[in-house]
Amino acid sequence: MKKLRNTIACGVAALALLATGLTSCTGDFDNINTSKDKPTPEDVDRDNAWAAFIQTMQRNVFAEGANAYQLADNLLGDSYAGYFGQAQDWDSGSNSTCYAFPTAKWKDEPYKQAYNNVMSSWNILRQKVDSASVVFALGEVVKVQAMHRVTDIYGPLPYTAFGKMSSGLPYDSQETVYRTFIKELDHALKTLKAAYEADSGAKPIADFDVVFDSDLEKWIRFANSLKLRLAMRICYVKPDLAKQYAMEAVRDGVMETADDSALFQSWGSITIINPLEKIWNGYSDTRMGASMDSYLNGYNDPRLPVYFQPVTEGDNKGEYRGVANGMPNPQQDDYKAMSAPNVQEKSTDSPLRWMMASEVAFLRAEGAMRGWTAEMGGTAEEFYNKGIELSFLENGLSADAAARYAADETSKPTDFTDVSAANTKYNISALGKITIKWNAGASEEEQLERIITQKWIAMFPNGTEAWSEFRRTGYPLIFPVRSNYPTSGVDTNKQIRRMVFPQSEYSNNGAAVQEAVKLLGGPDNGGTKLWWDKKN
């Protein structure tokens, strides 16, 4: 049976594509597409092995391949969050890092990854397993984890009707998508809690779960933590619902220790290589962003050498230096010696971070700051300091080091100086002025900036999530791009609010996209705000 399951896991992606009509067919389909090395539907149906589709979904929350990851994450959310600057000249500045959407080649990638790999697998799962089963519930959680990233990139999405129509798939408003996420998480949590109460040691998808090794308690904590993340996302557009969802999530149990964190990492016979290694090393494209340079150096942050490597040559050798975001035509030779992410070749111990316990502590800190102290289970200051401590522990540092860092009431972000003598025009004074130590007497806005700034540091390198939080709150204060394409529709100082709808959708689902633009409430450009983006 173990051999059968391994065979199923290897062939499940191809089966998903076949079952959803995403592969081409020929007149000799049965002979060409049947192999003893690939599972048939009958094989998969045995021993509840449809759970293999959950692994396929997990492996595509973030794209595993370096090229797909670069297009879907590193050149979009990672850059827009200020985590990374790009040391490569693509299309003479006509690319997404400079908001050149009409000609950008990358805007389709997050959508493609999600629908071709996650939603196609989900479509098989929902048809083949009982909706009251644990397998279905776990699939729901992974689907929400994957798809909330996608709606937070584009806005409205084809979601509730997916898999039910052969063509003309309609889009839902982002509000509908979010409300559906909460319903799906609540349904999943009900099932998972019942299963855990019946048998706390059960491992229902033990042969397929790359994230939690089928530990139901951890899945429950993660699902509640994800619900808390979504709750806080809507606090400016639906404050009452945000408070309700946040209260429910914390009440039912969220991540509290570093061991609870959701990590996509090597597991069993599956080796996961962090795609950032190829991007910084093989491509020599991505380096520390100027905003990270400003904050981490200014704070003398002990996480700096954990996150990044020192400069390898030149006058700044041994320092930690970044590059400006959105340069129109950076020359790679000027910047390839700058600080790269600290992900080493063939390293299997640099997991992709879905969600860390430190983020959850900062979410609770914000909730408490908003007056939900009882609902969050503590004060804003307690959770703020806990978030810092958890982040240090998650990165191999000590609680004592975290306490010393949290007590610093003088350090502030530093100015950014471009290392290239030819590019002094990219020098910029620090935007952030916030110190580290909690100030109970500060205004709510200052407290929010302090929470989100430390949360942003702790979430590295989850750029898509950090970009969403920047858009939602306005924090931290991130340097704007140095080149804004003339027709982007983006206010340079407010920065990009969303990615435009995929060209593939305009080509293949045009009428639905036109309706989606109406749901968006503004033009299909990078300056139109998403449904939850209502603070300013």
Q: What is the 3-state secondary structure (H, E, C) of 331-351?
A: CHHHHCCCCCECCCCCCCCCC
pLDDT for the residue numbered 42: 53
Question: How many Cβ atoms are within 10 Å of 174's Cβ, its own excluded?
Answer: 26
Backbone angles phi, psi at 287, to 5 degrees: -140, 170
Q: What is the DSSP letter of 517?
A: H
| Paired residues of 286 in beta bridges | 86
State which amino acid sits at residue 528.
T
**Which of helix, strand or coil describes residue 52?**
helix
Q: Give φ, ψ of 264 to 5 degrees.
A: -95, 110
Are 288 and 308 a contacting pair, CB within 8 Å? yes
CA distance 30 to 32: 6
Prediction pTM value: 0.91
Half-sphere exposure in the Cβ direction for 307 (13 Å, CA): 26
Question: What pLDDT, on a 0 to 100 scale, did the predictor assign at position 22?
Answer: 40
Q: Which of 310, 300, 329 is nearest to 412 (CA)?
A: 300
Measured CA to CA, the distance from residue 480 to residue 495 in angstroms comes to 6
Residue 35 confidence (pLDDT): 35
Query: How many Å apart are CA 121 and CA 114, to the nearest integer?
Result: 10
**Cα–Cα distances in angstroms (integers) from residue 350 to residues 56, 135, 210, 398, 458, in the given order:** 20, 28, 14, 19, 15
Residue 17: per-residue pLDDT: 44
Query: Which residues of the chain are modeled with pLDDT < 50?
Result: 1-11, 13-14, 16-40, 43-47
Q: Which of 293, 298, 300 is nearest to 321 (CA)?
A: 293
Cα separations (Å) of 302 from 76, 214, 291, 299, 331?
27, 34, 16, 9, 30
Supply the pLDDT for residue 346.
61
Alpha carbon distance 256, 3 (integer Å):
37
What does the pLDDT read at residue 269?
76
Residue with tokens 């989900």: 122
pLDDT, residue 103, reads: 64
In this predicted structure, what is the pLDDT of residue 48?
66
Token digits of residue 118: 């996650």
